[in-house]
C-alpha cells in the first residue's frame, strides 16, 4: 500500500462518504483488501506463537512428544543406542522411505517422525556378546559372598546329604502339612507317618509328559555366572532351580503361605500330592485337582476350574492354551493374607466341583534354608555350562575348575513367566545377561545359498504359533510371515510374547532374547555355512 492510498483511507471525507453511502466502488474495494491483509497478518502472528506437537517414534516401543513453534528449525538428535541395531536416521513414514534432514523445519501443524534402525550383522553381535559379558561384569560382587534367601551368589561348601528328585523336603521322612496357626499361638511343627501322606503310585491321567528338567516353566528361576579358570578363557554358567529348590530358598513368609495352602488342599478327603521338577501337583485319583509353584516372595496356584465360570473379582489369569496347565487353567498368585483368602475361595469351588468332603489336618512342614551347592549335589539345581569357544562343560569339570581356584562372578537372575512385553523384558533382564544367553544358546550348522536377509517381530510370531512350537525359517515361510526367497532371518522384539517357543534363527536382537527366555522358550542360533 503506497502513501497516497494510505492517505485516502485516513482522510475524514472517505469515512463520511462511506457512512452516507456516496463512497466510490474503488474506495470500498480498497478498504476490503486492507482489512483482509490485516486479518491474515493477525492469523499468521497467532500461528507463529502456537506450539505444535512433534511425535517421535523411537523404534523400541517408546514414543516421545515435544512442542515446537511452526516454521521453526528443530535439530533432531540421535536416540540412545540400541544393542544389536545401528541408527539410520529419522523418517517421515513408518515404512522408512522418506528421510528427513537433521534440521527439521516444523510445519504449521503437528508432525510425526520415525527412528530408523538397521540390525547389525549377527557375526559381530555374537563376538560382541562374548567380550561384553566379561567387560561389563567387573563391578559385580565377588564370588565369595554368602547367598541370601532369594538367590545364591556363590558355590559354598555343601552338606553331603543326598535325595532324589520328587522326594521329601530336607529334614522330613515324607512331606507333612500344616494349617497356619492363630497369630497369638506359636507354630506347631510335626512330621506325618510315611504311609499317611504317600503320593499315589499311579500318575494323574492328564499329567503332561513334557514336565522334564531341561524345559523351563513358569516360576522357574534361572541364575547366571561367569567362571574364569586359572588356565584362561571364560565359562558361561546357568543354574536352573527346581520347584523344591525355589521353595527351600524362599522367604519365611512364603513358606508359611505354602504350608497353609498345602494344608487346606490335603484337608479335602481324597486329595494326594506328587512332587515334580517344576511344581507340586495335587490329584484326586487320576485327575488333576491343582498345581502349586513357589517363588521367593509368592506362590502361584493353578486350579481345575473353568475360567468362564470364575468371577472376575479373583483377578486370575486364564492359561488354558498352555498344554502344561490345560487341566488346571485358572492361575492365581498368592502374595499375602488377602490374596490367600481369595485362593481359599477358589479352592472351595474346586473341591465342590469334585464333590469332596473336608477334614482338617493341622500339620506343618519344616523347610530349612539350604545353600546352592547342597541343592546342586542333591540334583535340585541343574547346572548348564559352556566355554566361550562353544564347548560344553560338565558339572564335574566345572567343580574341578572351581577347586583349582577359578574366579566365579555373579550375573543377574530372572524368573520365567507366562507373558511378557518388550518393555517389561528390558527391565527384568539386563543386557549382560542377555548376551550370556546368546553365548550359551544351542547352535546348529546349516548350509544355505547366499540370498536375502529378512526379519520378523516376536508379536507376529506369538500370534501365529502355538505353545511349544518350533519356529524356524521353513515354518515362517510356510505361514507367509517372511519372504519366501529369504535365506536368513533375524528375530526382533515388539509387543507381547505369551507362549513358550523354540526359536531357530541366524540372529536375534537382545530384547528378543530376553522375551524368549522370560517365557520359558529356547534360543537356537543357526550358523550359516555357505561352503
Counting every residue written for the chain, the total comes to 531
CB 500 within 8 A of CB 216: yes
392 and 250 both lie in a single domain: yes
Report the pLDDT value the prediction gives residue 430, as an integer from 0 to 100.
Answer: 82
280 and 406 both lie in a single domain: yes
What is the full DSSP assignment across 455-511? EEEHHHHHHHS-TT-EE-HHHHHHTTSS-TTEEEEEEE--SEE-S--EEEESEE-HH
Report the pLDDT value the prediction gives residue 182, as an integer from 0 to 100.
Answer: 36
Q: Point out the domain boundary residue: 380, 397, 415.
A: 415
71 and 42 both lie in a single domain: no
**Lowest-confidence segment of 62-66, 184-188, 454-458 by average pLDDT:** 184-188
Closest CA to 514 of 505, 523, 506, 502: 523
**Lowest-confidence segment of 28-37, 206-215, 442-451 by average pLDDT:** 206-215
455 and 396 both lie in a single domain: no
404 and 351 both lie in a single domain: yes
CB 287 within 8 A of CB 274: no
Q: Which residues pair with 277 in a beta bridge?
A: none
pLDDT tens readout for residues 195-204:
334 344 444 4
* Residue 81 located in a structural domain: yes
pLDDT higher than 50, residue 141: no
pLDDT tens readout for residues 414-438:
778 888 888 888 888 888 788 878 8
409 and 511 both lie in a single domain: no
* Residue 138 located in a structural domain: no
Kindly indicate the confidence band of residue 281, based on its pLDDT and cuts at 50, 70 and 90.
Answer: very high
Kindly indicate the confidence band of residue 22, based on its pLDDT and cuts at 50, 70 and 90.
Answer: low
What distance in Å separates the CA atoms of residue 188 and residue 279, rounded to the nearest whole number? Answer: 25
88 and 191 both lie in a single domain: no
273 and 178 both lie in a single domain: yes
CB 240 within 8 A of CB 522: no
Number of domains, the chain: 4
Closest CA to 413 of 147, 139, 65, 134: 147
* Residue 134 located in a structural domain: no
Closest CA to 59 of 123, 108, 116, 132: 116
Distances (CA, A) of 361 to 172, 176, 262: 17, 10, 10
pLDDT higher than 90, residue 222: no
pLDDT higher than 80, residue 255: yes
**Start-to-end CA span in the chain (Å):** 80
Report the pLDDT value the prediction gives residue 310, as an integer from 0 to 100.
Answer: 92
Kindly indicate the confidence band of residue 185, based on its pLDDT and cuts at 50, 70 and 90.
Answer: very low
343 and 231 both lie in a single domain: yes
Kindly indicate the confidence band of residue 187, based on its pLDDT and cuts at 50, 70 and 90.
Answer: very low
* Residue 137 located in a structural domain: no
pLDDT tens readout for residues 368-413:
999 988 988 888 988 888 887 778 888 888 888 888 888 887 766 7
pLDDT higher than 50, residue 148: no
**Lowest-confidence segment of 45-59, 138-152, 291-305 by average pLDDT:** 138-152
Report the pLDDT value the prediction gives residue 71, as an integer from 0 to 100.
Answer: 67
Report the pLDDT value the prediction gives residue 4, as an integer from 0 to 100.
Answer: 53
* Residue 366 located in a structural domain: yes
Report the pLDDT value the prediction gives residue 55, as an integer from 0 to 100.
Answer: 87
Report the pLDDT value the prediction gives residue 164, as an integer from 0 to 100.
Answer: 38
Report the pLDDT value the prediction gives residue 285, as an integer from 0 to 100.
Answer: 92
Kindly indicate the confidence band of residue 145, based on its pLDDT and cuts at 50, 70 and 90.
Answer: very low
Kindly indicate the confidence band of residue 253, based on its pLDDT and cuts at 50, 70 and 90.
Answer: very high
Report the pLDDT value the prediction gives residue 84, as an integer from 0 to 100.
Answer: 61
pLDDT tens readout for residues 486-525:
888 899 998 899 888 999 998 899 999 999 988 888 899 8
**CATH number of domain containing 60:** 2.60.40.4270
Report the pLDDT value the prediction gives residue 512, as an integer from 0 to 100.
Answer: 92
pLDDT higher than 60, residue 245: yes
8 and 55 both lie in a single domain: no
**Lowest-confidence segment of 131-140, 465-474, 503-512 by average pLDDT:** 131-140
Q: Point out the domain boundary residue: 415, 440, 472.
A: 415
Q: Point out the domain boundary residue: 415, 449, 472.
A: 415
pLDDT, greater one: 131 or 290: 290
**CATH number of domain containing 469:** 3.100.10.10
SS3 449: coil
pLDDT higher than 60, residue 282: yes
> The sheet that has 280-284: what strands, in order across it?
271-275, 280-284, 287-294, 299-303, 330-334, 317-318
Residue 177: domain span: 150-415
Range picked from 131-135, 305-309, 422-426, 448-452 for highest mean pLDDT: 305-309
What is the full DSSP assignment across 228-247? E-TTSS-EEEEEEE-HHHHH
* Residue 136 located in a structural domain: no
pLDDT higher than 90, residue 149: no
**Across the chain, what does the average pLDDT equal?**
75
316 and 169 both lie in a single domain: yes
* Residue 217 located in a structural domain: yes
pLDDT, greater one: 162 or 28: 28
Q: Which residues contact 31 (CB under 8 A, 6 or more apart)?
A: 9, 18
What distance in Å separates the CA atoms of residue 458 and residue 498, rounded to the nearest whole number? Answer: 10
411 and 432 both lie in a single domain: no
* Residue 143 located in a structural domain: no
Report the pLDDT value the prediction gives residue 301, as an integer from 0 to 100.
Answer: 95
**Lowest-confidence segment of 52-56, 267-271, 358-362 by average pLDDT:** 52-56
Kindly indicate the confidence band of residue 194, based on its pLDDT and cuts at 50, 70 and 90.
Answer: very low
**Strands 271-275 and 299-303, bridge-based pairing:** unpaired
Amino acid at each position: 500500500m503506497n502513501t497516497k492510498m494510505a492517505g485516502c483511507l485516513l482522510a475524514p471525507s472517505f469515512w463520511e462518504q462511506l457512512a452516507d453511502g456516496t463512497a466510490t466502488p474503488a474506495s470500498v474495494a480498497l478498504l476490503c483488501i486492507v482489512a483482509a491483509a490485516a486479518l491474515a497478518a493477525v492469523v499468521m502472528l497467532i500461528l507463529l506463537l502456537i506450539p505444535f506437537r512433534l511425535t517421535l517414534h523411537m523404534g523400541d516401543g517408546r514414543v516421545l512428544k515435544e512442542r515446537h513453534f511452526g516454521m521453526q528449525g528443530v535439530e533432531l538428535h540421535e536416540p540412545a543406542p540400541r544393542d544389536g541395531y545401528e541408527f539410520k536416521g529419522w523418517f517421515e513414514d513408518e515404512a522408512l522411505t522418506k528421510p528427513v534432514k537433521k534440521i527439521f523445519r516444523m510445519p504449521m501443524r503437528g508432525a510425526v517422525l520415525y527412528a530408523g534402525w538397521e540390525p547389525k550383522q549377527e557375526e559381530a553381535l555374537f563376538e560382541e556378546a562374548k567380550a561384553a559379558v566379561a567387560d561389563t561384569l567387573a563391578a559385580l560382587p565377588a564370588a565369595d559372598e554368602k547367598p541370601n534367601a532369594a538367590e545364591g551368589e556363590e558355590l559354598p561348601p555343601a552338606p553331603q546329604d543326598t535325595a532324589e528328585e520328587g522326594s521329601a523336603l530336607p529334614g522330613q521322612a515324607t512331606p507333612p502339612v500344616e494349617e497356619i496357626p492363630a497369630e497369638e499361638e506359636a507354630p506347631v511343627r510335626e512330621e506325618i507317618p510315611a504311609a499317611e501322606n504317600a503320593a499315589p503310585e499311579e500318575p494323574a491321567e492328564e499329567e503332561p509328559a513334557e514336565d522334564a528338567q531341561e524345559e523351563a516353566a513358569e516360576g522357574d528361576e534361572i541364575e547366571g555366572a561367569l567362571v574364569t579358570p586359572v588356565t584362561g578363557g571364560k565359562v558361561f554358567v546357568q543354574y536352573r532351580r527346581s520347584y523344591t529348590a525355589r521353595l527351600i530358598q524362599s522367604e519365611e513368609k512364603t513358606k508359611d503361605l505354602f504350608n497353609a495352602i498345602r494344608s487346606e488342599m490335603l484337608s479335602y478327603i481324597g486329595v494326594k500330592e506328587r512332587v515334580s521338577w517344576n511344581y507340586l501337583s495335587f490329584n484326586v485319583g487320576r485327575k488333576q485337582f491343582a498345581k502349586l509353584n513357589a517363588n521367593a516372595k509368592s506362590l502361584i496356584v493353578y486350579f481345575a476350574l473353568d475360567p468362564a465360570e470364575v468371577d472376575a473379582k479373583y483377578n486370575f489369569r486364564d492359561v488354558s492354551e498352555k498344554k502344561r496347565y490345560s487341566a488346571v487353567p485358572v492361575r492365581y498368585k498368592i502374595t499375602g493374607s488377602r490374596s490367600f483368602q481369595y485362593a481359599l475361595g477358589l479352592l472351595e469351588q474346586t473341591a465342590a466341583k469334585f464333590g469332596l468332603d473336608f477334614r482338617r489336618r493341622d500339620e506343618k512342614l519344616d523347610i530349612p534354608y539350604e545353600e546352592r551347592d547342597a541343592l546342586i549335589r542333591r540334583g535340585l539345581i541343574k547346572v548348564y555350562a559352556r566355554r566361550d569357544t562353544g564347548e560344553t562343560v560338565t558339572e564335574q569339570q566345572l567343580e574341578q575348575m572351581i577347586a583349582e581356584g577359578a574366579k566365579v562372578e555373579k550375573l543377574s537372575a530372572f524368573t520365567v513367566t507366562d507373558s511378557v512385553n518388550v518393555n517389561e523384558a528390558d527391565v527384568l533382564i539386563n543386557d549382560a545377561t542377555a548376551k550370556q544367553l546368546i553365548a550359551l544358546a544351542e547352535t546348529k550348522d546349516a548350509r544355505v545359498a547366499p540370498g536375502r536377509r529378512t526379519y520378523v517381530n516376536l508379536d507376529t510370531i506369538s500370534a501365529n504359533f502355538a505353545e511349544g512350537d518350533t519356529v524356524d525359517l521353513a515354518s515362517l515361510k510356510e505361514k507367509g510371515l517372511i519372504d519366501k526367497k529369504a535365506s536368513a532371518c533375524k528375530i526382533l522384539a515388539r509387543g507381547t510374547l505369551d507362549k513358550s517357543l523354540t526359536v531357530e534363527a541366524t540372529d536375534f536382537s537382545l530384547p528378543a532374547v530376553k522375551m524368549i527366555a522370560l517365557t520359558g522358550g529356547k534360543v537356537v542360533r543357526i550358523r550359516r555355512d555357505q561352503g
